[in-house]
Amino acid sequence: MPTTTICMPSLSERHDVLERLRQLLGPAYVLTAAADTAPYLTDWRGRYRGAVLAVLRPGSVAEVQGVVRLCAAAGVPMVPQGGNTSLCGAATPDGSGEAVVISLGRLNRILEVDTANDALTLEAGCTLAQAQAAAQAAGRLFPLALASAGSCQIGGNLSTNAGGVQVLRYGNTRDLTLGLQVVLPNGELFDGLRGLRKDNTGYDLKQLFIGAEGTLGIITAAVLKLYPLPETRTTCWLEVESPDQAVALLNRAKHAFDAALTAFELVSEIALGLVVRHIPGAQRPGATSPWYVLAEFSAVDPRKVEDWLAECLGAGAVRGGTVAASEAQTQKLWALRENISEAQKREGISIKHDISLPLSRIAEFIDRAGAALATEFPGSRVVAFGHVGDGNLHYNLSHPETAANAALLAQEDFVNRVVYDLVHACGGSISAEHGLGQLKRSEILRYKSPVEIELMRSLKKTIDVSGLMNPGKSV
């Protein structure tokens, strides 16, 4: 894999850089003590652990520019970091200790809520929950919805093109973005904070930085789309026999409700069982079933949803289900879905796959991959769940017994080959919403064409000439 040679500064040069950074940011915002830097050096899953020259916490766009200029001049690699909720190690530095982490948490201001334009302008260090609350206070909806909303930051959401549970209706983060402000690898500022829905004046430059995982620059602010706040929300937990039946039900729902169908999540019985086992207060909402669907309908008469469900039940399209009768019940149903990752983490390490497939191939993939993995790894189990409405599955393999699980993890490369080759054969992608990071940097070379790889490498070389921006995270 081609790499960019980075000339590292000497010890005296590093001390000089640190002193200049302290003068720029103030000593309190240049962290070097092990106890202070530790929270920034490990990814959420605990898979990757790095080391740093320092953790930097700039408080303004001008300070981010100053930090980048100093580091670029001294040849110091830079790792942008938001809420540190990455699942692929994209925000974790390597173990050399030569890089700095640039944490954006202090850039956390809501700059403008423009209700006439249905646009929200905010800094990249705002959490997703802050963005949602600012929109709601103005009678609007910011529809990006993730389980980590209280800790993940908008800059990270943009850098990974986060998806979440409402992509079916509103699209990924890319679709929710009107404008960006980005500090480039040389410290210059790309200021594209424009709330325009049409701007046909050449390349749409903001799209280069969305999903780039901080390898082309540091996102410092954004203009995001808002939507009317739905007057009603109807949430259903439905029991289905198979993924094939779930996809058929999805098509029935889209035909009946169109854009009023805002979420359609698939959950396996194995996944629900982990939540009930590990998450305090979690309870089954109905009968046990091989698979479940969590569906949400917005801005539609709840009685219409209930009538439709009755028709589905009569036609055998569902086995049974529960409709939330209150906001509290709605939250409990969503908690079952949103706590799957946390329950898995408490159960132990698993081999995770964030994949996307054409809707028409989801059931086929689940059947073929399940059979192949059962043959190759007897006794293993698949925890499958995800945003089936947009074809995004989280497909995770583990062993119930710790000792056997350790042996399974030793064969991770082979597990990935089985899963990813089938994903590719079904016309899918090996990364749907988590990005590549360190986890899939090599894997992607097997599935992207040489033309695509060379285009990405050319962009990286053109924008990040010295290769200092989040090294080790791009192809």
Which pLDDT belongs to residue 102?
A: 98
**CA separation for the pair 427, 361 (Å, rounded):** 8
105 and 55 Cβ atoms separated by less than 8 Å: no
Q: Are residues 403 and 313 in the same domain?
A: no
pLDDT at 402: 74
Strand positions, DSSP E, 135-240: 140-141, 177-183, 189-192, 218-225, 227-228, 233-240
- CA 183, 206, 121, 218 dihedral sign is negative
Beta-sheet strands, E only, within 15-131:
30-31, 54-56, 78-81, 100-103, 110-114, 119-123
What is the reported pLDDT for 10?
67
Last residue of a domain, one of 327, 342, 357: 342
Residue 12 has a pLDDT of 67
Indicate whether 284 and 191 sit together in one domain: no
Where is the domain boundary, 161, 195, 228?
228
* Token digits of residue 14: 């590093």
Query: What are the backbone angles phi and psi of residue 295, rounded to the nearest 5°?
Result: -115, 145
The structural domain count of the chain equals 3
Q: How far apart are CA 431 and CA 1, in angstroms?
A: 19
Per-residue pLDDT at 452 = 95
- Residues 400, 333 within the same domain: no
Q: Which of 422, 412, 60, 419 is nearest to 221 (CA)?
A: 60
pLDDT of residue 375: 95
| Rounded Cα gap, residues 110 and 167, in angstroms | 24
Q: What is the pTM of this model?
A: 0.91
**Residue 237 neighbours by CB under 8 Å, 6+ apart:** 285, 286, 292, 293, 294, 321, 322, 324, 333, 336
Which helix (H) or strand (E) segment is 322 a member of? strand 320-323
Side chain identity, residue 230:
P
pLDDT at 445 (0 to 100): 93
Residue 106 CB-half CA count within 13 A: 16
Is 218 found in the same domain as 114? yes
Give the C-alpha separation, 369 to 389, whole Å.
Answer: 20
215 in a structural domain = yes
**Residues 406/137, Cβ–Cβ less than 8 Å:** no
Angle between helices 412-425 and 402-409 (to 10 degrees): 70
Contact 463, 218 (CB under 8 A): no
Give the largest Cα separation in the chain, rounded.
76
330 and 352 in a common domain = no
Residue 201: inside a domain, yes or no?
yes
Cα dist. 398→44, 387, 411, 419, 423 in Å?
Answer: 18, 21, 11, 13, 19
Asked whether residue 47 is assigned to any structural domain, the reply reads no
Q: Where are the beta strands (DSSP E) in 360-412?
A: 381-387, 392-398
Query: In this structure, is residue 104 part of a structural domain?
Result: no
- Bridge partners of 139, per DSSP, are none
DSSP secondary structure letters along 256-298: HHGGGEEEEEEEEHHHHHHHHHHSTT----S---SEEEEEEEE
The parts of the chain modelled with pLDDT lower than 70 are 1-12
Last residue of a domain, one of 181, 204, 228: 228
**Distance separating alpha carbons of residues 395 and 381, to the nearest angstrom:** 10
What CATH number corresponds to the domain at position 207?
3.30.465.10
Together in a domain, 362 and 275: no
**Which tokens is 299 given?**
């801005």
| Domain span holding position 164 | 110-228
- Say if residue 197 is in the same domain as residue 128: yes
Beta strands in 374-425 (DSSP E): 381-387, 392-398
The answer to whether position 252 is within a domain reads yes
pLDDT at 2: 53
Q: 325 with 362, same domain?
A: no
Question: Do the domain assignments include residue 25?
Answer: no
The verdict on 296 and 374 lying in the same domain is no
pLDDT at 73: 95
CA 433 to chain centre: 5
Whether residue 157 is contained in a domain is answered as yes
Q: Are residues 172 and 125 in the same domain?
A: yes
Bridge partner residues of 240 (DSSP): 291
Spatial CA neighbour of 212 closest among 42, 41, 430, 436: 436
- My answer on whether 189 and 284 are in the same domain is no
pLDDT at 88: 84
Dig out the tokens for 221 from the structure: 């602010």
First to last CA, the chain: 7
Could you tell me if residue 327 is inside a domain? yes
Half-sphere exposure of residue 427, counting CA atoms within 13 Å on the CB side?
A: 7
Which amino acid type is present at position 229? L
Are the beta carbons of 179 and 223 closer than 8 angstroms?
A: yes
CATH number of the domain within which 337 lies = 3.30.70.2190
Phi, psi of 140 (to 5 degrees): -125, 170
CATH of the domain at 353: 3.30.70.2740
Q: Are residues 290 and 214 in the same domain?
A: no
